[in-house]
Every structure is written in C-alpha cells, then in structure tokens.
Amino acid sequence: MSKLVVSQKIKLAVKNGHGVVKIKVGNTTIGGDQLAVMAGPCSVENREQVLEAARIVKGAGGHILRGGAFKPRTLPYSFQGLGEEGLKILDAARSETGLPIITEVMAPEDVELVESYADILQIGARNMQNFALLKRVGKASKPVMLKRGMSATIEEWLGCAEYILNEGNHDVILCERGIRTYETITRNTLDVSAVPVIKQLSDLPVVVDPSHGTGIRSLVAPMAKAGIAAGADGLMIEMHPHPEKALSDGDQSLHPHEFEALMREMAPIAGAVGKRL
Amino acid sequence: MSKLVVSQKIKLAVKNGHGVVKIKVGNTTIGGDQLAVMAGPCSVENREQVLEAARIVKGAGGHILRGGAFKPRTLPYSFQGLGEEGLKILDAARSETGLPIITEVMAPEDVELVESYADILQIGARNMQNFALLKRVGKASKPVMLKRGMSATIEEWLGCAEYILNEGNHDVILCERGIRTYETITRNTLDVSAVPVIKQLSDLPVVVDPSHGTGIRSLVAPMAKAGIAAGADGLMIEMHPHPEKALSDGDQSLHPHEFEALMREMAPIAGAVGKRL
Amino acid sequence: MSKLVVSQKIKLAVKNGHGVVKIKVGNTTIGGDQLAVMAGPCSVENREQVLEAARIVKGAGGHILRGGAFKPRTLPYSFQGLGEEGLKILDAARSETGLPIITEVMAPEDVELVESYADILQIGARNMQNFALLKRVGKASKPVMLKRGMSATIEEWLGCAEYILNEGNHDVILCERGIRTYETITRNTLDVSAVPVIKQLSDLPVVVDPSHGTGIRSLVAPMAKAGIAAGADGLMIEMHPHPEKALSDGDQSLHPHEFEALMREMAPIAGAVGKRL
Amino acid sequence: MSKLVVSQKIKLAVKNGHGVVKIKVGNTTIGGDQLAVMAGPCSVENREQVLEAARIVKGAGGHILRGGAFKPRTLPYSFQGLGEEGLKILDAARSETGLPIITEVMAPEDVELVESYADILQIGARNMQNFALLKRVGKASKPVMLKRGMSATIEEWLGCAEYILNEGNHDVILCERGIRTYETITRNTLDVSAVPVIKQLSDLPVVVDPSHGTGIRSLVAPMAKAGIAAGADGLMIEMHPHPEKALSDGDQSLHPHEFEALMREMAPIAGAVGKRL
C-alpha cells in the first residue's frame, strides 16, 4: 500500500489482526463471501405497506428488511415515524417472511425498546457522533450498523465505531451513505472509495446505501453495482411498493420491478469479485 | 432583499414577526445593542485553571464564562471531561466573579444536572441534529446556545432551532463555529456570511466562534472583528491561562494578554456598527 | 503564531522579507493604510451604463472602476462581453472621471490588447491555474489582480501568484471571492479568514469581493465590512445603475444608493482597524 | 427517471437525440460496447521509460498510451514536462507498439503542435473552464478528452463540452477524475455517480480516472472496477515501470504487475455489464 495516511491514534479495536468480523443475522452472514441485501421502505407507514414490501424483498432474494419507525427529520412538524407501533409492524413482517429486521434508533432511552424488536440497530448519519447513543448501543445485545455522518471523515467514522466496540459490542457494520459536497444534481456524493479504504483500515464489514447516496431512483442500480465492484459486503436499498405514495424519500425508492431487476443484475457483478448474492 | 431563497417550510417560530429575541443572562442581554463576549478554556481541567481564567475574563470586560465539563471527543480514549466535578468548578468561578456560565450538555439524561449549574446550555456541533437532545433542552429552564453542525446548511440549523422552540423554550442563541470545507490550513472555514443570513431569516441572536472557526490562535482576533462587523450579537472565544498546557484546543486558545488586547481592539469595531462591548 | 502549517515549498517570492508590496494605480495605493474600493458593473454593456456607473463610483468616493469586456460564461451561448469595444467604453469612462480601470483578461493572446487599455489586469477564478495566462501576465507592464479559484486552497493560490512573480511582474494583488461549499443559500462562501492567512503567508495585498462571495445583494454590505475588519486592503464590489436590467449578476449588484450608503458605513470600520477609505 | 434536475439551459448539443457518440481512435472505439483502457505514466520522463511503459500497456491488453509532455504544476519551479521532446518520445512509442496516444495540451498556442502528434487531446482539470483553450480544441482535427474540474458541477462540465462541440468538434470524451471534498485520506473523492448522470444527460462517452481520483495506488483497482460497474466507457490509469522513481504521481501509479492483474480482474466486471475489454 502506497500512502494511506491516518493519524496515529486509529490503530485500535477496529483493526485487531483477527481478520474480518463476520456478523450472523438470521441465515445471513455479513462480512464473508455472501453479499447481504437490506431493502425496504424508508418509513414504516402502515401494516399493508410493510408486509407488501417484505414479500417483495423476500421474493426477489433480499436478506434483511429495512424500515424506519423512528425518523430523524429536519423539522419537528414533519412525519416523525410510528414509534413502537412501527416496530410491531416490522415484527409482523419478520414473522411472516422470516426476514431479519434492521431499524434506526435515535436516543439512548429508546435502545431497550428497539433492541427488543430489531435484529440490527441502525445509527443514522445525523447521530454518528451522538456519543451517548454510541455508548448505549455498545452495551446492546444486537449488532449495530453505523452510518457515516454527512461530512464525517473516515477517521472520525472509525472513531465512532471505536466508541461502540469499546463498550463490548464487537458486531459493528459500517454504512457509506454519501457525503455532502458542492454537487447539487445528486442529493449526496456516494464515496465509493470509502469501501476499500475501510477494508484496509479496519476489520469491520461495510455496506453501501446508493439510495441516500444519490437521492435519485435512476442512479440506485449503477451505484449499487459500483459498490459491489469496489468490495462492499452488502447493500442498503430503499424500495417501496408504491414510491409515488411514500411519506418520505419517494424519489429515491425503487419500484418493486426495479428492485427485482437489480437483484438479477447484481449477481454477475458479485460473482466477478468473488462473492455471491 | 434580492434573492435569499429557502425552502417553503422555513417560515416558522424562528421568524415570528415580534422582532429580535433578547435573552437576559445575569447582567448581559444577548440580542440587543450590547455585544456579549463568552470566553474561557475549552475544557474545565481543574479549579485553579478555571478560577484564573474567570478572573482574566472578568478583568478584561468579558461577560460570560465558558468551559466544558462534558467533552465530545473523536475517540473514547481521549480526555472526556470532568463531568459534575467540572460543573462544580464552574459554579465556584461564578460565585467568585459573578460571571454567568455557559457549558455543553451532550445527552438528554444529563440536561437536568447541567441546567442545575449552567446559565446557558450549549449544544455542540456534533449534536446539532440530536433530536432527542434538542427536544429535552426545549423543555429546560435555561437559554440554549445551538452550534451549527460541521456541514449543516443554514436551513437545517434553523430547523434544529425550531425543535427547541417547538417545545416551549424560546431563548435560543445560534452560534456559527465554522463549516467543513476542502481548505486545510484552517481547521474549519468560518462562514461569516451566516451572520447576516440568520439575521434576515430569523429573530434569534447569533454569535460567532472564531476559535473553532479557524483553529489557529493568530486568526482569532481578525475573525472576531469580522464577525462583529458582519453583525454578530456576541463572540465565543477560547482563552486559557496557559495554552501550551491545555488538555484540548491549545493551538486555538488565546493567551490572557492576547484576549485583553482583543477586548480593547473590538470596542471600536462594535462602535462602528452601532453596538457597545 | 501557533499553527499555520503549509507545505515546505511555499517559501517563495510571495514572502520576500521586504515587507508589504504597495501598488500604486493612479492616485490610489493598494497595500498601505488606504482601503481601495473597486466598483462598477459586472459586464460592460454599453456606453451610457458604464459612464453612469463611473460617475456614481467617483461621486461616492470609490477609487477604481471595474467592468468586464471579456466574460467567462458557463455556456457558449450566453453574452460573452463586448471585447475591445468594451475596453474603449472603459477608456472613455476613465477619461471623464479619472478613475483607473480594472478588467479581466481571459487568454494569453488578449493580454497585449487588454493591457493597452487597463490599469489592472484581472485574472478570474476559472483561470487561476491557467498557467500559460499567468506566465503571460507575468510579463505584462500592468499590475495583476489574481482571483482565488472556486475551490483553490490558499497554497495553490499562492503558487499561482508565484507563476506571475517568477516572470518578473511583482505587482500582484490577491482577491478572495468566495469558495465553493455545500451551502446553497449563498452563491459561494466568502472565506474571510483567507485575508489574515494571506497576510501571514505573503507580502501581497489582498482584497475581498463580497458580491461574488455571496451572490446576494443584501449580504454585500455586511460582508464588505467583515472583510475590512479582518484586514483586507481593498474591496471589489458590483454596482449597477439599474441592477434589474443587468445582463449578468444583477442579483448581487448594489443599487447606486446602496453603494453610496456602504461607502459611508465602511469608513468607521476602516478607521477602527487603522485604515482610511 | 425520478428527479435528475438541471437548469433549463443544458439541453444542448451534448444531448442530441442521435444516440451515443462513438469515437474511433486507432482500432479502439470509445463509446460502444468495448471498454477503452488508457494507461501509462503521469509524465513523459525519457525514451526508455515511455517505451517500457508502452510495451507493458500493449502486452497487458491496454488500448491507448497516456503520458504528459506539458505538465500543469502547482509551482513554477516543479518539473514542467519535456514539451515537444516529450511528444516525439510518445510518437516513437506509438510507432513501435501501434498504441494511439493521449496527451495534455495546456494553451491555445500549443494546440497545433500537440495535435500534430497526439491521437486524443486531453484538457486537464485546471483548464476545464479555460474557454479560449476549449474554443481552440473545438477547431482541432483530433478528439478531445475533457477532464472534470476539481470542483466543477456536472452542469458546468457539460457547459464546457458545449464550448468544444459548438466549434464543430463533436468527438468529445468526458473524464471523471475525482472532486475536491473535505476528506483527506484520499487525494480527491472519485464521483462515480457522475458516470450514470452523464449517461442520462448527454450522448458523450465518459471514462473514469481512478489514479487521480484517489491518489493512492491500493485504491486504483477497486475504483477502476467500480467505474466499470457504474457504466463507464473506459478508464484512465497511471502505470509506471518504476513508480518509486517517478517524477510525478508515483504514489498513485500502479506497478506493471499490478496493472496486468487489474486488466485480468476487470474483464469479468466488464462482462457483467455487457461490455468487453
């Protein structure tokens, strides 16, 4: 390696010399030669929507169901999510399809509740450096997926993973979800290079979120493929049974048939880098 | 005004048509024709350091003492602050000098403790979109100073103020502390233009932090003056009795004599824009 | 100075140890205790517009007339400027008012023509690293004002000044005109801190352009004042006799009465930092 | 397509409704189902280096030889390239290997010389908005590869392509080479999403430069693959027979054996998106 320079401090639990961390969730292992696809709607809106989405994800070969019950929103007047009611809906979808669930937790006091339902706890980009929350999920019994902050350096991001590991929870997945740049056509700029950088600097699995990373439906498929080609261990994709009716992120949510097509198209890319879908 | 375009949603409590919010803290009013100077060390390190700093701030004509008891750090292994012990030290400095205290609170569960000591609660840049924390300080009995996130747009920042106002606490001060750009000579790029933008879009007072905004001691004075000239209602300045011994942010902390000189130099700038120090 | 770190290479002609470079243009000296105000329309549109603008600049106490005859435009189909005809109009305005002229030159082959009319040659942000052009104006007989590129680091900017100095032209003025960031309310983010950084790293005078730096008329005055307070040697301000009719940059051009008011308001700020208008 | 919003003006020659532009250079067609690999050293240093590089490129299956004879450097004191002597060396390498040549041209007055040697004229990132140069290569007899400016929006980039097309030269290739962000581990952030955006907004072929896009040798291979997966028509890769001796960009130049391995690894990715190497 020619020149991957980081400050001295980052030589920590995230790079322990014991090899890549493999995290087993249901029948899926994140961090090995299987590519993990997490998909579903941005927000849990109602029972029908989530069950329909779950069936589509399952049918197309996806591995984990995503859906937000607690939603971080720019304004307090926007839809804030269904809370525990949303978690119960996700639980029902898991019961029917067998898909494990990933969902966001936004405050330390909600961790107990959310981990009682979720299979993976998601920490959102806005909370990447919410250290009280990181410490709390560091004591949780479930794996944690830590999204990169909108303008976090990779070193800061790894520092946040360190907060979780330091509390004893070693099942941490990193998620590149786009960084904030001056470009305005895309919602964010998906930093695909973060994938190989993370692979070199840590042992943690890393997944890519091309939905938030671009904000535009027609860019999700090419960027999902780019993420796989760059070495990602998985994908986080927004898919909604009816994107035009979505309460949030409709513009970046795939239609069901687009998700199904993408699942088929990703398989050969995965194969070309020694992974399977 | 020619073209200050924001999304439709931001027409909220931050701009209520009742004029500029004035916030009285001790003998100082933030948001009127007085320029409020908040100064002191980055971290509360020990009793002597804080008392010495408080005397210097008081003697030079500063209005409010700053100092961190809870510290957000990139890594869990760095000094995390003295916690309640730090708050007690700040309390002692207030008792001796009469200076009100501003200090950071990092988690909802700490708000009750911190507000029992502090005169102003500070929300740091990393927690700008920690919505659970914003809601909690929105119910607090003390004013809140909300720092801009490292890559927050002004609209997002105002949206966060809205979270606090929406819970009933209308005493919100905004603090521009530099944004993240590609420039590497400075730690951040102080967005001085945020001051007049905020003045046009909201009724809230806005202060400028040239210490974090530049990260370099020799740039603090010129940027403090720039902030005043642009219309800021106050300043947040790091000053340490012995910067070379500081546990954090020593490079950007003024020496006592530099702070005293700056207080003298700022007065005529303040006068030139119709304010007094 | 605590920590103004640059790469080793920048220890060059821009910092020669002979003190601040003073550049005399007409009756104005740029780089001393006088604040130089360059003002006028973005584009030279016609004789009446420029003469009217020149009289307003002169009457309000401005020192140098600005106006573009060669215009760098995003698309080839936009108004590209009047070329030599525009230079003749500027010449006429100089003859009537006595104001020296600053105007942009965009290509090496145009330098001979432009320097036969202009008192200061302007290199625009898009051409900051057009090295052939820099070398050519380095051989010109007139001072050069070098604008910072939209995303140029300060080191790169100084490197470009070095290209001009290296050819023998030591009369170089630097102009901070806003950098590209993620913020969208303003057209650019005026990096006011570049002023004191440049003062520490070089001997060259530096002026601030709050018009391009913000893109919004109502922000020009506060940011002009901020620039002065931070130590700028001059200002570059767009003023149009009738901004609503401007062929370019109308939204950021001051009305004549706004420019006159700003000239009055800047005087006490200049005085507060030891300069005169 | 859900939401690819650009300003109205960009509906121009770059999107003409006649389908993807295919550019034939030697035996290679850029813009079709073949992936074009351009490789070679950053700078032309001497005859042996270039001939050795050319043989390696040819032997590994690369299509076009790259090498800079005119070099844009941050400081005037750095190696500026061999000029015409460098062009002659490239010519010799072409004679021996049959590989077409791509090389940069930096000034309008050099275009005649450079096009007499080169098969493709490269416009570098620093000159993206050097409009005099764009107009001149718009009249050239050879195809032009236009690199994206370091902080250019995609719209601005397409506007620059328009300058070339507007002069009559329709053989324009776009090259994404990384944009400037706050991240410091990588030299730039390769905006892979620019590839599908360009594909939707224009008919021009687009190639990806993972060498400048990352600045780090170990990231070139994964990002080259990411570019292909996202739909790029080709790659621009720095390879040096002896990177440790390179006069420029040694840290990001592949060793010969790394380039050969990458050629093998890229083939199945190309196949997975319907292209061949």
Mutate to test the interface with D, among C11, C75, C136, C158 (most CBs of D within 10 A): C75
Q: Contacts of residue A129 in chain B, CB cutoff 8 Å?
A: 72, 126-127
Give me the pLDDT at residue D11, please: 59
Q: Contacts of residue D211 in chain A, CB cutoff 8 Å?
A: none
Q: Contacts of residue C81 in chain D, CB cutoff 8 Å?
A: none
C47 in any annotated domain? yes
In chain D, whose CA is at the least distance from the CA of C72? D131
User: What average pLDDT does the structure give for chain A?
Assistant: 94
Report percent pLDDT > 70 for chain D: 96
pTM for this structure? 0.95
C88 in any annotated domain? yes
What is the CA A60 to chain-centroid distance, rounded? 18
Q: Contacts of residue C216 in chain B, CB cutoff 8 Å?
A: 1-4
Alpha-carbon distance of A67 to A58, in angstroms, equals: 14
Size of interface C-D (CB pairs under 8 A): 83
CA distances from C106 to A173, C70, C146, C179, D144 (A): 51, 7, 12, 20, 21
Kindly provide the b/e burial profile for residues B93-104, where b requires at least 16 CB atoms within 10 angstroms of the residue's own CB.
bbeebebbbbbb
DSSP state of C74: S
Please name which of A232, A264, A236 lies closest in space to residue A33, comparing C-alpha atoms: A232
The yes-or-no verdict on residue B261 having pLDDT over 80 is yes
Mean pLDDT of A179-198: 97
Query: Which amino acid does the sequence have at D210?
Result: P
| Phi, psi (rounded to 5 degrees) for D30 | -95, 125
- Note whether D151 contacts B180, CB cutoff 8 Å: no
- Angle at A80 (CA atoms; ends A130, A146), nearest 5 degrees: 35
Tokens standing for residue D186: 């990588």
Q: Are C60 and C46 in contact (CB under 8 A)?
A: no
Tracing tokens 């397509």 back to the chain, one arrives at: D1
Distance from D126 to chain C by nearest Cα, in Å? Answer: 6
Mean pLDDT of B90-111: 98
D16 in any annotated domain? no
- Note whether A192 contacts D195, CB cutoff 8 Å: no
- Note whether C106 contacts D162, CB cutoff 8 Å: no
Mutate to test the interface with A, among B131, B134, B177, B191 (most CBs of A within 10 A): B131
Give me the pLDDT at residue B2, please: 43
D91, burial (CB in 10 Å: exposed 0-12, middle 13-18, buried 19+): middle
Q: Contacts of residue B106 in chain A, CB cutoff 8 Å?
A: 131-132
In chain C, whose CA is at the least distance from the CA of D72? C131
Q: Within a 13 Å sphere around the CA of B137, how many CA atoms are in the beta-carbon half?
A: 36
Please name which of D47, D28, D30, D22 lies closest in space to residue D100, comparing C-alpha atoms: D28
Distance from D206 to chain B by nearest Cα, in Å? Answer: 26
Express each pLDDT in A4-23 by its tens digit: 655 545 557 788 777 889 99
| Phi, psi (rounded to 5 degrees) for C243 | -55, -35
Give me the pLDDT at residue B8, please: 46
Alpha-carbon distance of D156 to D143, in angstroms, equals: 20
The yes-or-no verdict on residue D2 having pLDDT over 50 is no
Which strand (E) or helix (H) includes residue C217?
helix C217-229
| Phi, psi (rounded to 5 degrees) for B120 | -135, 135
Query: Which amino acid does the sequence have at C67?
Result: G
Q: Are B265 and B61 in contact (CB under 8 A)?
A: no
- Note whether B269 contacts C273, CB cutoff 8 Å: yes
Give me the pLDDT at residue D37, please: 98
Report the CATH number at residue B186: 3.20.20.70
Distance from B61 to chain A by nearest Cα, in Å? Answer: 35
**Which among C72, C108, C129 has the least Cβ separation from residue D72?**
C129
DSSP state of C256: H
Per-residue 3-state assignment (H helix, E strand, C coil) for chain A: CCCCCCCCCCCCCCCCCCCCCCEEECCEEECCCECEEEEECCECCCHHHHHHHHHHHHHHCCCEEECECCCCCCCCCCCCCCCHHHHHHHHHHHHHHCCCEEEECCCHHHHHHHHHHCCEEEECHHHCCCHHHHHHHCCCCCCEEEECCCCCCHHHHHHHHHHHHCCCCCCEEEEECCECCCCCCCCCECCCCHHHHHHHHCCCCEEECHHHHHCCHHHHHHHHHHHHHCCCCEEEEEECCCHHHCCCCHHHCECHHHHHHHHHHHHHHHHHCCCEC
- Note whether B109 contacts A106, CB cutoff 8 Å: no
Report percent pLDDT > 90 for chain D: 90
Query: Which amino acid does the sequence have at A72?
Result: P
DSSP state of C251: G
Give A1's pLDDT tier (boundaries 50, 70, 90). very low
In chain D, whose CA is at the least distance from the CA of B189? D182
Size of interface B-C (CB pairs under 8 A): 155
What is the CA A56 to chain-centroid distance, rounded? 18
- Note whether C229 contacts B225, CB cutoff 8 Å: yes
Report percent pLDDT > 90 for chain B: 90
Tokens standing for residue A102: 């990933």
In chain A, whose CA is at the least distance from the CA of C189? A182
Q: Contacts of residue D182 in chain B, CB cutoff 8 Å?
A: 151, 180-182
Please name which of A141, A186, A136 lies closest in space to residue A163, comparing C-alpha atoms: A136
CB atoms under 10 Å from CB of C256, counted, come to 19
**Which among D192, D214, D272 has the least Cβ separation from residue A269?**
D272
- Note whether C72 contacts D162, CB cutoff 8 Å: no
D84 in any annotated domain? yes
D7 in any annotated domain? no
Tracing tokens 């899926």 back to the chain, one arrives at: A28
Q: Give me the sign of the Cα torsion angle A13, A16, A20, A22.
A: negative
Alpha-carbon distance of A177 to A192, in angstroms, equals: 9
Q: Within a 13 Å sphere around the CA of C133, how many CA atoms are in the beta-carbon half?
A: 29
What domain count does chain A have?
A: 1
Tokens standing for residue A107: 């405050």
- Note whether C215 contacts B179, CB cutoff 8 Å: no
Mean pLDDT (10-residue bins), chain C, 277 residues: 51 76 95 96 97 98 98 92 97 98 97 98 98 98 97 96 96 98 96 97 97 97 98 98 92 97 97 95
In chain B, whose CA is at the least distance from the CA of D186? B182
Distance from D274 to chain C by nearest Cα, in Å? Answer: 34
Please name which of D154, D161, D159, D225 lies closest in space to residue D191, comparing C-alpha atoms: D154
- Note whether D190 contacts A186, CB cutoff 8 Å: no
Give B37's pLDDT tier (boundaries 50, 70, 90). very high
Q: Contacts of residue C217 in chain B, CB cutoff 8 Å?
A: 1-3
Express each pLDDT in A149-171 by its tens digit: 999 999 999 999 999 999 999 99
Q: Contacts of residue D246 in chain A, CB cutoff 8 Å?
A: none
Numbered residues of chain C with Cβ closer than 8 Å to any chain A Cβ: 151, 180-182, 184
- Note whether B181 contacts D182, CB cutoff 8 Å: yes
The yes-or-no verdict on residue A125 having pLDDT over 60 is yes
In chain B, whose CA is at the least distance from the CA of C218? B1
Give me the pLDDT at residue A20, please: 85
Express each pLDDT in D182-192 by its tens digit: 999 999 999 99
Kindly provide the b/e burial profile for residues A226-243, where b requires at least 16 CB atoms within 10 angstroms of the residue's own CB.
bbbbbbbbbbbbbbbbeb
Alpha-carbon distance of C248 to B212, in angstroms, equals: 37
Q: Give me the sign of the Cα torsion angle B145, B150, B154, B157.
A: negative
Please name which of D188, D190, D179, D276 lies closest in space to residue D234, comparing C-alpha atoms: D276
Give me the pLDDT at residue D1, please: 36
A11 in any annotated domain? no
Q: Contacts of residue B181 in chain D, CB cutoff 8 Å?
A: 182
**Which among A3, A153, A243 has the least Cβ separation from residue D251?**
A3
Alpha-carbon distance of A71 to A175, in angstroms, equals: 17
Query: Which amino acid does the sequence have at C226?
Result: A
Collapse the DSSP code of C104 into the 3-class scheme (helix H, G, I; strand E, B; otherwise coil) and give the result: strand
Tracing tokens 């950098």 back to the chain, one arrives at: C179
- Note whether A222 contacts D230, CB cutoff 8 Å: yes
Which strand (E) or helix (H) includes residue C276?
none
Give A188's pLDDT tier (boundaries 50, 70, 90). very high
**Which among C6, C186, C217 has the least Cβ separation from residue B193?**
C186
Express each pLDDT in A255-276 by its tens digit: 999 999 999 999 999 999 999 9
Per-residue 3-state assignment (H helix, E strand, C coil) for chain B: CCCCCCCCCCCCCCCCCCCCCCEEECCEEECCCECEEEEECCECCCHHHHHHHHHHHHHHCCCEEECECCCCCCCCCCCCCCCHHHHHHHHHHHHHHCCCEEEECCCHHHHHHHHCCCCEEEECHHHCCCHHHHHHHCCCCCCEEEECCCCCCHHHHHHHHHHHHCCCCCCEEEEECCECCCCCCCCCECCCCHHHHHHHHCCCCEEECHHHHHCCHHHHHHHHHHHHHCCCCEEEEEECCCHHHCCCCHHHCECHHHHHHHHHHHHHHHHHCCCEC
Q: Contacts of residue D183 in chain A, CB cutoff 8 Å?
A: 153-154, 179, 191
Size of interface A-D (CB pairs under 8 A): 154
In chain C, whose CA is at the least distance from the CA of A179? C182
Complex confidence, ipTM: 0.95
Q: Contacts of residue C243 in chain B, CB cutoff 8 Å?
A: 2
Q: Are B77 and B122 in contact (CB under 8 A)?
A: no
Give me the pLDDT at residue B1, please: 36
A47, burial (CB in 10 Å: exposed 0-12, middle 13-18, buried 19+): middle
- Note whether D107 contacts C74, CB cutoff 8 Å: no
| Phi, psi (rounded to 5 degrees) for C19 | 90, 180
C4 in any annotated domain? no
| Phi, psi (rounded to 5 degrees) for A87 | -60, -40
The yes-or-no verdict on residue B176 having pLDDT over 70 is yes
Mean pLDDT of B124-128: 97
Q: Are D209 and D185 in contact (CB under 8 A)?
A: no
D109 in any annotated domain? yes
Give me the pLDDT at residue C2, please: 43
The yes-or-no verdict on residue D128 having pLDDT over 80 is yes
For chain D, the straight-line distance linking the first and the last C-alpha, in angstroms and rounded, comes to: 29
Question: What range defines the domain where residue C257 resides?
Answer: 23-72+80-272
Which chains would you list as touching D if contact means 3+ CB atom pairs under 8 Å?
A, B, C
Express each pLDDT in D172-213 by its tens digit: 999 999 999 999 999 999 999 999 999 999 999 999 999 999
The yes-or-no verdict on residue B198 having pLDDT over 50 is yes
Give D12's pLDDT tier (boundaries 50, 70, 90). confident
Distance from D170 to chain A by nearest Cα, in Å? Answer: 25
Q: Are B123 and B107 in contact (CB under 8 A)?
A: no
User: What average pLDDT does the structure give for chain B?
Assistant: 94
In chain C, whose CA is at the least distance from the CA of B228? C226
Distance from D68 to chain B by nearest Cα, in Å? Answer: 27
